[in-house]
């Protein structure tokens, strides 16, 4: 292959040096706040920091506007009361806490519910075109787990609307964006007192050149960890970078055992395995069948939900038209129940040719109805699977979708345990407890994005002239670490290790977990870590995806270990964490979080328990329902 | 061609672009559509030019060729329903009125696409490099005049009204008695329907009726009209072709009648 | 149902490159991007390619497949003969960086030149009111996933590098149209669209619409209406006369010329 020429060779448009090997020096930039990630959370925090007067940089692995936020479909949960005037933040707060099985950080849930409406209105000020009510207000959609119709939306592409609006706002404000730039280390000033953030180190994906940001505040907004699993609705970027960066900087993560598996992802064709199939298919009448044609969900109604679930096909079918006098169909049981049932059917050999289960709406609704209600699903199956969902059933199976766990942060400021390091969005933890409600993710990004941006700016301003320093020895070490995969000879291809890790996580730390399998997975992860030390990449540093993967893989490994370790420790089933050997929730576990840190040697993960923050009495009153059993779990729909 | 060398170092062959040989890697028959357009349009132009300059064989009662309607020059007896204000005009009467339908079609957003592609190869097809080294689009004379399309549309509405009137008259026989219909009447009827569909599906029409508004909700009637025209507009290209064929066919039929090659097939 | 697919993939950078031959195992139901990924994972670890969502929603994996601008993730192998060699090249309108990756910063620069949405204050109850029928046209344009295939296929810049300075391209004509049709925007962007964005350069040959993976009717619903709006403003003496004598389209009032 042609390689780049002289060291002075600069890219005509970006001005970057094109030669990866060039000794032309490392770029250095000074900012007040550096935001890592340009999804909804990253953009919102950058805008907030800018508005607060900071000089901000956004650094993202992809092009601007491509972040995973675009995949969100359903909407943004915000109690604006446009459709139901009786809706308010208190109801939203209550729904959120119950959806998370009371394991949420109450303060985050409260702030989120209180501030989401204004955050949505801001998007409209910046040009978002939401669907309207007849009065011309922002329309709000019903979603599982939310008592009132509450999701501001644009058809089924709300995430795209949100990211484009924020992107256009950021461009308008002239915020600097470093696209296709990967951060590999958060830099710390370990001088007097506690370590403080002093910057971030990374490389341009395009040229392979190193870049150093000197900044007292760094906001992590890197999204989730889905790429650790084989079947996932997440994109390649979801390698747990923010989780890993925070740990290496000394911060802790919480709730890592809670990974949300969506029951309906596409299973075929292979190219789209894991891609989300919206829960609205079932809401609009779709049913699940096994290969024998049996509507099997009736066999999986747990005792806990018997009272409110239809036990005959007749009653279930009547529910769609008459929700008052009939109980809901078992297809609309909570997501973990449905995912578990599908899993069992497939394991029992009653799966479809491509290893899934049939989701059938074709035999139950007219083609016109389906095309009108589910346009993007119709399009998705038609284009990608050559399946006409108005004529034949879909094949679906569970897919890894979202991680509730993340960096442990202060609820009001989103600051992690490390001074100057903030985390927001999916890579932060606490807000969603053990299970996230649909629509609460987009709201989370906006509400806490703004808070983090403002808090980071305030902290930077408080420092005055005494800024933390970047230690040049750390920079050297970061460079050496990033280049290490080029030094190895005769080692293993990172693609193989990644693929083996994904398979292992899927098999052993997936939707249904057992102690034995989790232990086995920890052993396997140790082996992957050994293999990863001997990773080799070919070619040179200029736009080299093999090298990029090698660097991301380290993050995936550490995050995977966190998940497995926390999952092994939590001996109960709750929300997104299901233990076959400990079915059902345990009240004692309901009072504590699991916290993980990088161990002293930096080679593995330490874990400890921590009591849940206690909700003040004035909020507790929302959950006092005398004579009621533990809160009945709403149907979680969470495509956004 | 002087531009050959320049062409090979600009555009897709420019220094910053990926060095890929060939003006396109398309392996489908991308040349078919522009070739077909070129052939049909050329044939129509040749035919229409001949017929427009012929100045004869355009009227056989009750049928008047659409190329000559309204017949405002020194026209044959019975063909001038709107008088002969241009009776002094020495050339074919078609030349007086053809400028309007011709201008309408020349500035039509669909025809522009078709002939820029087929005649000017700018571009010949999508992702196929064009042969020109310079391109300024419709920013200067003469192409900036394409912006007057709406005026030709106003004229086209008048033309369509006149052709409708002609079609009504075609329900009379050669002795001006009503309740006649021949193959000629049928052809004229089909043609005038297609002409109307083409005229009403025009982008300028869509804009004028409602597209220019920013608040449909304040103009419910215009919104309705816009919605309706938008539906037609999606088929504008189709109507452009169909009406081109139909207008030529009606003219040809009347030519054959007037020249005495055939007689009209009479239904009643 | 797996078979060996013959591919030609352009490898290289701005200093040169060539189509390399690859032979890769693929199976039923896969798309071109899967084949590219398999080449990357098994034969050419450093093959540069952009991608994200792999579901036609992010618009990252734009390239040219057998010479046609496509999203690789939406390009099914079953649309080709098993015997057929599939040729994948980078987008040819943008500077190449490496292999299938091009420098699309042209588009981000153009985005910066476009004056943003500028609404009036909110209503007294702190909300905004717009009717669904008034936002629908804009909503169609906001489906744009910024894959830049329209920008890539537009001959105005594809074949004429020098036009890049004066021509914003179809993606941004969508944006101009969206804002000009926005029921609340307080700016009049028609002069700007014609002069600064180069709307007049477009000769409506419709390739942008042909390649749009979102099926947005870019030409018919955005560019031509914008041309007509510009004609209202600049080329229509009747409108000019109407303004002089006070007969005007009140729907355009209250906007500030940009």
Domain contains A339: yes
CB-based contact C210 B135, cutoff 8 Å: no
Marked catalytic residue, from A98, A282, A541, A570: A282
In a domain, B130, yes or no: no
- Is residue C89 within 8 angstroms of chain B, CB to CB? yes
Q: Which of A400, A434, A457 is the last residue of a domain?
A: A400
A383 inside 8 A of chain C by CB? yes
pLDDT of residue A640: 47
Residues of chain C neighbouring B134 (CB-CB closer than 8 A): 160
- Residues C133 and C219 placed together within one structural domain of the fold: yes
C169 reaches B (C-beta below 8 A): no
- Do residue A88 and residue A64 come from a single domain? yes
Q: In this predicted complex, what is the ipTM?
A: 0.95
Judgement on whether residues A519 and A616 belong to the same structural domain of the protein:
yes
Q: What is the CATH number of the domain that holds A518?
A: 3.50.50.60
d(CA C11, CA C17) in angstroms, rounded, equals 6
The verdict on residue A382 lying in a domain is yes
Residues A543-576: pLDDT tens digits? 888 999 999 999 999 999 999 999 999 999 998 9
Asked if the structure places residue B5 within a domain, the reply is no
Q: Is residue B7 part of a domain?
A: no
Judge: A127–C116 Cβ closer than 8 Å, yes or no.
yes
Q: Same structural domain for residues C109 and C220?
A: yes
Is A262 marked active-site? Answer: yes
pLDDT for B134 beyond 70: yes
Give the residue ranges of DSSP H helices in A301-387. 313-319, 335-347, 367-373, 375-385
From chain C, the residues in CB contact with B15 under 8 A are 14
Residue C88 and residue C122 in one domain: no
Domain that holds residue A293: 262-400
Total number of domains in chain A: 2
CA quadruple B221, B223, B227, B230: dihedral sign: positive
d(CA A376, CA A379): 5
Q: Quick one: average pLDDT of A81-102?
A: 93
Cβ of C159 within 8 Å of Cβ of B129? The answer is: yes
Q: Is C76 in the same domain as C116?
A: no
Nearest Cα to Cα of residue A423 among A558, A556, A242, A563: A242
| Shared-domain flag, residues A199 and A279 | no
pLDDT number for residue B5: 58
Q: Of C127, C87, C116, C74, nearest to C5 (Cα)?
A: C87
Domain ends where: A360, A379, A400?
A400
Give the residue with greater pLDDT, C253 vs A484: A484
Beta-strand runs (E) in A248-299: 253-254, 259-266, 287-289
Residues C171 and C94 in one domain: no
Pairing mode, strands C256-257 and C86-89:
unpaired
Minimal-distance CA residue of chain A relative to C125:
A137
Q: Is B11 a domain residue?
A: no
Q: Domain range spanning residue B194? A: 37-112+135-258
Q: Which residue has the tokens 């009447």?
A: B185
pLDDT digits (tens, 9 = 90+) for A150-175: 999 998 789 999 999 999 999 999 99
The CA-atom distances, in angstroms, between C95 and each of B127, B138, C12 are 16, 26, 12
Give yes or no for residue A114 having a pLDDT over 80: yes
pTM (two decimals): 0.92
Range of the domain at C38: 3-101
Range of weakest confidence among A110-119, A626-635, C76-85: A626-635
Cα distances from A463 to residues A51, A55, A597, B9, C128, in angstroms, run: 19, 14, 27, 55, 40
3-state secondary structure of A188: strand
Q: Which of these three, A341, A376, A400, is where a domain ends? A: A400
CB contact under 8 A, A2 and C12: yes
Predicted local confidence at residue B51, as pLDDT: 96
- pLDDT given for residue A22 in this prediction: 47
Residues of chain C with pLDDT under 50: none
Same domain, A249 and A292: no
* In chain A, residues 475-534 whose CB comes closer than 8 Å to chain C: 493-496, 499
Contact of C41 with C14, CB cutoff 8 Å: no
What is the spatial order of strands in the sheet that A151-152 belongs to?
A: A76-77, A151-152, A140-141
The answer to whether residue B158 sits within a structural domain is: yes
Give yes or no for B222 touching C (CB within 8 A): no
- Please check whether residues A449 and A321 belong to one and the same domain: no
pLDDT band at A305 (very low <50, low <70, confident <90, very high): confident
Q: Which of C78, C101, C124 is the last residue of a domain?
A: C101
Asked whether residue B9 is domain-assigned, the answer is no
Q: In chain C, what residues touch A545 (CB-CB under 8 Å)?
A: 40, 45-49
Residues C52 and C158 in one domain: no
Binned at pLDDT 50, 70 and 90, residue A9 comes out as low
- CB-CB: which of C87, C228, C236 is closest to B25? C87
List the single residue in C97, C131, C146 with the smallest CB-CB distance to A206.
C97
CA–centroid distance for A353 within its chain: 30
- Average pLDDT across chain B, whole number: 94
**What would you report as the CA-atom Rg of chain C, rounded to the nearest whole angstrom?**
22
Query: What CATH code is carried by the domain that includes residue C208?
Result: 1.10.1060.10
Chains B and C form CB pairs within 8 A to the count of 172
Highest mean pLDDT (candidates A342-346, B183-187, C229-233):
B183-187
A153: in domain: yes
**pLDDT value of position B161:** 97
Residues C123 and C231 in one domain: yes
**Residue B21 within any structural domain of the chain:** no
Among A12, A130, A385, beta carbon nearest to C29: A385
Share of chain A above pLDDT 90, in %: 71
Q: What is the dihedral of CA C148, C151, C153, C156, to 10 degrees?
A: -170
B27 lies in some domain? no
DSSP run (H or E) holding B158: helix B149-169
Minimal CA separation from A409 to chain C, in Å: 28
For residue A24, what pLDDT is reported?
52
Interval A378-399 mean pLDDT: 91
With an 8 Å Cβ cutoff, is C229 touching chain B?
yes
Share of chain A above pLDDT 70, in %: 93
Q: Is the domain of C129 the same as that of C166? A: yes
pLDDT at B183: 97
Domain count of chain B?
Answer: 1
Total structural domains within chain C: 2
Over range B31-56, report the average pLDDT: 97
Q: A65 with A117, same domain?
A: yes
For residue B147 the two structure tokens come to: 């912006």
CA dihedral C93, C99, C101, C103 (to 10 degrees): -50
Same domain? C153 vs C207: yes
Domain co-membership, C172 together with C197: yes
Q: Do A132 and C131 touch (CB under 8 A)?
A: yes
Max alpha carbon distance in chain A (Å)? 78
**Two tokens, residue A217:** 């505040």
Express each pLDDT in A60-69 by its tens digit.
999 999 999 9
Do A360 and A490 sit in the same domain of this protein? Answer: no
pLDDT of A328 reads: 81
Q: Which member of A50, A150, A262, A554 is catalytic? A: A262
Tokens 């420098």 locate to C103
- Whole-number Å distance between alpha carbons of B43 and B25: 31
| DSSP E strand boundaries for C33-167 | 62-65, 68-71, 86-89, 96-98, 101-102
Pick from A87, A63, A79: nearest CA to A181: A63
For residues C152 and C92, is the Cβ–Cβ distance under 8 A?
yes
Q: Tell me, what's the pLDDT at A66? A: 95
According to the model, what pLDDT value does residue A625 have? Answer: 61
At C153-174, the pLDDT tens digits run: 999 999 999 999 999 999 999 9
Active-site annotation holds for A436: no
Report the residue from A62, A82, A174 with minimal CB separation from C52: A62
Mean pLDDT of A488-506: 92
A363 with A421, same domain: the answer is no
Give the tens place of pLDDT for each residue, B85-127. Answer: 999 999 999 999 999 999 999 999 999 999 999 999 999 999 9
**Which has the minimum average pLDDT: B7-11, B259-263, C60-64?**
B7-11
The residue to which tokens 């461009």 are assigned: A171
Q: Tell whether C96 and C16 lie within a shared domain.
A: yes
């Amino acid at each position: 292959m042609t390689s780049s020429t002289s060291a002075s060779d600069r890219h005509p448009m970006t001005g970057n040096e094109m030669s990866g090997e060039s000794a032309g020096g490392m770029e250095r930039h000074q900012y007040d706040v550096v935001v890592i990630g340009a999804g909804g959370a990253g953009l919102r925090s950058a805008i907030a920091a800018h508005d607060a007067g900071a000089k901000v940089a956004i650094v993202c692995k992809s092009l601007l506007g491509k972040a995973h936020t675009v995949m969100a479909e359903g909407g943004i949960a915000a109690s604006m009361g446009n459709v139901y005037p009786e809706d308010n933040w208190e109801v939203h707060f209550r729904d959120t806490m119950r959806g998370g099985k009371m394991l949420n950080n109450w303060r985050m849930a409260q702030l989120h519910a209180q501030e989401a409406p204004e955050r949505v209105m801001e998007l409209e000020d910046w040009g978002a075109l939401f669907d309207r009510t007849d009065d011309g207000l922002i329309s709000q959609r019903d979603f599982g787990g939310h008592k009132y119709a509450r999701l501001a939306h644009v058809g089924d592409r709300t995430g795209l609307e949100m990211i484009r609006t924020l992107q256009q706002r950021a461009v308008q404000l002239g915020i600097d964006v470093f696209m296709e730039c990967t951060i590999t280390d958060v830099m710390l000033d370990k001088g007097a007192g506690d370590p403080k953030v002093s910057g971030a180190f990374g490389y341009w994906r395009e040229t392979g050149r190193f870049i150093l940001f000197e900044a007292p505040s760094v906001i992590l907004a890197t999204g989730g960890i889905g790429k650790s699993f084989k079947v996932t609705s997440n994109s390649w970027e979801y390698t747990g970078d923010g989780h890993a960066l925070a740990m290496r900087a000394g911060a802790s993560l919480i709730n890592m055992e809670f990974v949300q598996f969506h029951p309906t992802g596409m299973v075929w064709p292979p190219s789209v395995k894991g891609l989300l199939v919206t829960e609205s298919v079932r809401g609009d009448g779709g049913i699940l069948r096994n290969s024998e044609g049996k509507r099997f969900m009736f066999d999986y109604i747990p005792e806990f939900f018997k009272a409110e679930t239809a036990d005959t096909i007749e009653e279930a079918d009547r529910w769609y038209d008459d929700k008052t006098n009939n109980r809901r169909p078992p297809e609309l049981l909570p997501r973990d129940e449905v995912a578990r049932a599908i899993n069992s059917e497939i394991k029992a050999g009653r799966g479809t040719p491509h290893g899934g289960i049939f989701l059938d709406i074709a035999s139950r609704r007219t083609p016109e109805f389906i095309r009108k209600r589910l346009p993007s699903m119709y399009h998705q199956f038609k284009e990608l699977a050559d399946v006409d969902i108005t004529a034949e059933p879909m094949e679906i199976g569970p897919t890894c979708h979202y991680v509730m766990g993340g960096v442990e942060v202060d609820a009001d400021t989103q600051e992690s345990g490390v001074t100057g390091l903030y985390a927001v969005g999916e890579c932060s933890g606490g807000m969603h407890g053990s299970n996230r409600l649909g629509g609460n993710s987009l709201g989370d990004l906006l509400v806490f994005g703004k808070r983090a941006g403002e808090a980071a700016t305030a902290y930077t301003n408080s420092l005055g002239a005494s800024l933390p320093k970047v230690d040049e020895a750390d920079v050297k070490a970061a460079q050496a670490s990033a280049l290490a995969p080029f030094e190895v000879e005769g080692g293993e291809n990172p693609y193989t290790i990644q693929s083996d890790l994904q398979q292992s996580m899927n098999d052993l730390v997936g939707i249904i977990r057992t102690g034995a399998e989790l232990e086995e997975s920890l052993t396997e992860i140790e082996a992957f870590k050994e293999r990863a030390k001997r990773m080799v990449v070919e070619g040179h540093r200029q736009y080299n995806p093999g090298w990029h993967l090698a660097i991301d893989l380290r993050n995936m490994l550490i995050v995977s270990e966190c998940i497995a370790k926390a999952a092994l420790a939590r001996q109960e089933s709750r929300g997104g964490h299901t233990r076959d050997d400990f079915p059902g929730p345990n009240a004692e576990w309901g009072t504590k979080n699991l916290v993980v840190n990088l161990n002293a040697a930096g080679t593995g993960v330490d874990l400890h328990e921590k009591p849940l923050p206690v909700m003040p009495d004035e909020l507790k009153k929302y959950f006092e329902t005398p004579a009621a059993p533990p809160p009945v779990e709403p149907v979680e729909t969470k495509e956004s | 061609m002087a531009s050959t060398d320049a062409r090979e170092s600009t555009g897709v062959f420019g220094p910053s672009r990926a060095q890929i040989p060939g003006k396109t890697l398309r392996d489908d028959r991308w040349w078919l559509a522009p070739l077909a357009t070129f052939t049909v349009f050329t044939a129509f132009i040749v035919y229409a030019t001949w017929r427009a300059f012929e100045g004869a064989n355009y009227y056989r009662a009750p049928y008047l060729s659409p190329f000559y309607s309204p017949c405002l020059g020194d026209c044959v007896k019975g063909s001038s329903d709107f008088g002969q204000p241009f009776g002094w005009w020495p050339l074919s009467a078609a030349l007086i009125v053809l400028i309007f339908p011709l201008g309408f079609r020349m500035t039509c957003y669909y025809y522009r696409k078709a002939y820029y592609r087929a005649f000017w190869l700018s571009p010949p097809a999508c992702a196929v490099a064009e042969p020109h080294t310079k391109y300024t689009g419709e920013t200067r004379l003469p192409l900036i005049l394409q912006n007057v399309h709406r005026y030709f549309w106003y004229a086209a509405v008048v033309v369509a009204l006149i052709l409708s009137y002609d079609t009504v008259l075609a329900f009379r026989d050669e002795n001006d008695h009503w309740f006649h219909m021949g193959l000629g009447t049928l052809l004229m009827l089909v043609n005038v329907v297609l002409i109307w569909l083409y005229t009403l599906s025009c982008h300028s029409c869509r804009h004028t009726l409602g597209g220019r508004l920013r608040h449909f909700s304040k103009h419910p009637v215009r919104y309705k009209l816009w919605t309706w025209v938008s539906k037609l507009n999606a088929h504008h290209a189709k109507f452009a072709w169909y009406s081109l064929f139909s207008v030529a066919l009606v003219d040809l039929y009347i030519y054959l009648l007037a020249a005495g090659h055939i007689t009209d097939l009479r239904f009643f | 149902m797996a078979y060996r697919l013959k591919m030609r993939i352009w490898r290289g950078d701005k200093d040169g490159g060539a189509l390399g031959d690859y032979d890769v195992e693929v199976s039923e139901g896969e798309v071109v991007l899967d084949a590219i990924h398999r080449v990357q994972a098994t034969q050419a670890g450093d093959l540069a390619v952009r991608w994200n969502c792999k579901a036609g929603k992010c618009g990252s994996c734009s390239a040219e497949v057998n010479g046609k601008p496509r999203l690789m993730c939406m390009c099914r192998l079953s649309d080709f003969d098993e015997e057929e060699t599939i040729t994948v090249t980078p987008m040819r309108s943008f500077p190449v960086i490496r292999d299938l990756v091009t420098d699309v910063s042209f588009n981000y620069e153009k985005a910066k030149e476009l004056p943003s949405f500028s609404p009036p204050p909110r209503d007294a109850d702190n909300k905004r009111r717009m009717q669904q029928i008034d936002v629908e046209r804009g909503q169609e344009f906001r489906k744009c996933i910024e894959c830049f295939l329209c920008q890539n296929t537009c001959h105005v810049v594809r074949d004429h590098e020098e036009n890049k300075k004066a021509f914003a391209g179809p993606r941004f004509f969508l944006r101009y149209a969206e804002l000009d049709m926005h029921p609340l925007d307080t700016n009049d962007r028609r002069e700007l669209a014609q002069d600064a964005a180069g709307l007049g350069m477009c000769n409506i040959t419709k390739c942008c619409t042909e390649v749009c993976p979102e099926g947005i009717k870019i030409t018919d619903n955005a560019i031509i209406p914008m041309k007509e709006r510009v004609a209202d403003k600049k080329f229509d003496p009747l409108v000019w006369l109407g303004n002089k004598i006070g007969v005007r389209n009140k729907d355009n009032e209250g906007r500030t010329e940009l």
